[in-house]
Structure formats: C-alpha cells, structure tokens
Amino acid sequence: MFFDGFLSCSASYFTSYYVGQQLIGSLVEIEGFVCHHWAVIVEVVGETVYVIHLTNDDMVRRSTLVDCAKGDRVRINNSWDNWSSPYAPETIVKRAQSKLGYCKYHTLTYNCETFATWCRNGDEFSGQTLRTLMFAPVTLPALGLYKLFGGSGGPSNC
C-alpha cells in the first residue's frame, strides 16, 4: 500500500492536515499508479501551498500543490533526511528557485525525485529509480504492456 502508516490526503485538504508543521522546504510525494511525482514546498499562503517541481515536459516549474497533484493523494516525505542532512528551509527554496525554467529530464538519471532530493539534501537520489533497476526484469515489461493498452503510468507530471 502506497501510504501505509503515513497520513495522506488530497491536495485540497493538505494544509488542514499538516497545521503546525514546518512545510516550507519539505518534499511532497504525490501518489501515482506506477510512479510517484515529487515536488518541493516553497510557499504557503493561507490554505494554498505552492511547489516547484520537474514536470513531464522536462521543465522545472512553480505551481499550486492542487494543480500539481491533479486529484491524487499527497504526503510529506522527507525520509532521505535519515541519511543526508537537509539544508535550511530558505536554502531549499533558493535551490529550487534557481532551477526554474531549467530543462533536463531522464527517467533514470534526472527525474522529479532526483530534483526534489537535490533541492532539500544536495543529493540527486531517486528511490523509484533504484527500485525500477532492481526489479527491471519484471517491472519494465509490465509497464510497457500497461502503456500499450492505454495506461498513463502515473500522475501526468511523472
């Protein structure tokens, strides 16, 4: 189960669930069927959460979390902090902003998760990539069949 043991919610209720927590600089993981999308929280204005993320058109953009999630469930996921110390929130935001408009994407070497972990911790790490490579003999043919028969593979931002 994707969110086993974690509080998850739709993006429209996000700030209500996470009231009192430091949101700025946190990473958001957005649920997807095959892949998950990742974004960096850069601003919260009232109930509106703004994120910067690497989109499916290979561009780093700023948007609201609601627009980014497109109805999928979201959660805070700063789990990489267990292995690599995060920067201060202001630094995380500056790092994310420094890449706005940047065009670079590769499913295995530079994806939305590697962008997000670079912003927060300075490491270009993707657990999804690691899992894909570990289980490639099973997952890649299954993903190919899924897409062949009309599946999207995850949020439209993957």
Q: List pLDDT tens digits, range 71-96.
A: 888 889 898 898 889 999 999 999 99
Look at the pTM and tell me if it is higher than 0.75: no
Fold of the 9-148 domain:
endopeptidase fold (from Nostoc punctiforme) (3.90.1720)
Mean pLDDT within 124-143: 57
Here the tokens at position 88 are 């201060």
The closest alpha carbon to 116, from 24, 23, 41, 33, belongs to 41
Domain boundaries, the chain: 9-148
Q: Taking all residues of the chain, what is their mean pLDDT, rounded to a whole number?
A: 76
